[in-house]
């Protein structure tokens, strides 16, 4: 099957409802290598407490993950292969949905047990509108719903319609950044992901 064929369910879902949940775009071996990389960076002090622009105490109650940004020029094989897949997806979305996506910005995220990321929107209506599509690739082998840690996606502004997406290994979630409020619920075990955004070209620099 061509890459466009592999990505066709994602294209259809984004076109019809603005979000997509897919499985198996990367092999189990590849996902495990990304998880190992995240843990190694964290253990070696290569991650930093994530920030939201809030005061420190408010920020820590809103968001409890540590992150390590990924470099597009990385020479680490798991990162190279993952970013290549994202780029192929980006080109497919540009071709089929005319999205004009220019690049992807991404980081590894590590949530300790009990940590959350409160309800938020990835792209607001004011300021530069670079973030077009949010993405989350989960790296958690053996995750079950009893572990918690779901991504709660709010499907309308009234918050009356929502879905919980559990962070099982190899699952990729995509959604329109300016449309869907979302939050990360607490879990009873460490939670790993690769998180990022497909962006358009800025009029104000990189």
Is 57 a residue whose pLDDT tops 50? Answer: no
Task: Quickly list H helices, the chain.
Answer: 3-17, 28-43, 56-62, 77-97
Domain membership flag for residue 81: yes
Domain range for 192: 3-199
Q: List the CATH number of the domain containing 76.
A: 2.60.120.620
Domain membership flag for residue 205: no
Is 60 a residue whose pLDDT tops 50? Answer: yes
Domain membership flag for residue 124: yes
Question: Which tops the pLDDT comparison, 177 or 159?
Answer: 177
If one counts the domains in the chain, the total is 1
Does residue 136 sit in helix, strand or coil? strand
pTM of this structure = 0.91
Contact 164, 154 (CB under 8 A): no
Structure confidence at residue 55 (pLDDT): 45
In whole angstroms, give the CA distance from residue 31 to residue 179: 28
Domain membership flag for residue 204: no
Domain membership flag for residue 193: yes
Structure confidence at residue 5 (pLDDT): 81
| DSSP strands (E only) in the chain | 19-22, 48-49, 66-69, 103-111, 117-120, 131-138, 151-154, 162-165, 172-176, 182-184, 191-199
Domain membership flag for residue 206: no
Is 156 a residue whose pLDDT tops 90? Answer: no
Domain membership flag for residue 47: yes
- pLDDT, tens digit, for every residue of 115-147? 999 999 998 877 778 999 999 999 999 999 999
- pLDDT, tens digit, for every residue of 1-56? 556 688 999 999 999 999 999 999 999 999 999 999 999 999 999 999 998 755 44
Domain membership flag for residue 36: yes
């Amino acid at each position: 099957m061509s890459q466009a064929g592999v990505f066709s369910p994602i294209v259809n879902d984004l076109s019809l409802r603005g979000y997509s949940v897919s499985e198996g775009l990367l092999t189990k071996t590849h996902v495990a290598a990304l998880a190992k990389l995240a843990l190694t960076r964290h253990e070696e002090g290569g991650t930093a407490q994530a920030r939201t622009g809030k005061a420190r105490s408010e920020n820590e109650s809103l968001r409890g993950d540590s992150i390590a940004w990924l470099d597009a020029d990385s020479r680490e094989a798991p990162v190279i292969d993952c970013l290549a897949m994202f780029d192929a997806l980006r080109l497919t979305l540009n071709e089929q949905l005319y999205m004009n996506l220019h690049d992807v910005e991404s980081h590894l995220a590590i949530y300790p047990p009990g940590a959350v990321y409160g309800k938020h929107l990835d792209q607001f209506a004011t300021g530069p509108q670079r973030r077009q599509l949010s993405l989350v690739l989960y790296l958690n082998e053996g995750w079950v719903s009893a572990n918690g840690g779901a991504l709660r996606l709010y499907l309308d502004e009234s918050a009356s319609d929502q879905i919980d997406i559990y962070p099982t290994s190899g699952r990729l979630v995509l959604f329109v950044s300016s449309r869907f409020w979302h939050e990360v619920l607490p879990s009873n075990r460490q939670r790993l992901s690769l998180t990022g955004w497909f962006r358009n070209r800025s009029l104000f620099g990189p």
